[in-house]
Amino acid sequence: MLQEDFHIPDEIIVGKLYSMCTRTSKKWYYKMGQDHGKQDWSWWKSEVMTKWANNSWRLKMENVFESSIFNSEKDKPLTWFLKKKDRLSALHPDMSDTD
């Protein structure tokens, strides 16, 4: 999305990728960088999809999406909505905003 929508160079996207990772994914990113050296965004995107976008991950995301219920006492409406939208986009990357 970032590269296509905002024309952001590979170096910036790949540089931000590490800061977006947490725990296990950060260790994985670091090891991949050691093993394969500097790579462009298309390579990283493919590796991320291979590693993380599998059936187990999809099931987990579907369960989180379905169980997420808005609570007006603890959730801010916009934050909650955007999180739901991001999860839905992750599950269905080809879906448009009008679907």
Position 8 scores a pLDDT of 81
CB-based contact 40:10 (threshold 8 Å): yes
Q: What are the start-end ranges of the H helices in 8-76? A: 10-20, 23-36, 41-52, 55-67
In whole angstroms, give the CA distance from residue 14 to residue 36: 14
Whether the per-residue pLDDT at 4 is higher than 60: the answer is: yes
Query: What pTM did the predictor assign?
Result: 0.56
In whole angstroms, give the CA distance from residue 80 to residue 17: 23
pLDDT tens digits for 9-21? 888 888 888 888 8
Angle at 60 between CA 76 and CA 48, to 5 degrees: 95
pLDDT tens digits for 26-72? 999 999 999 999 999 889 989 988 888 788 888 888 998 899 999 99
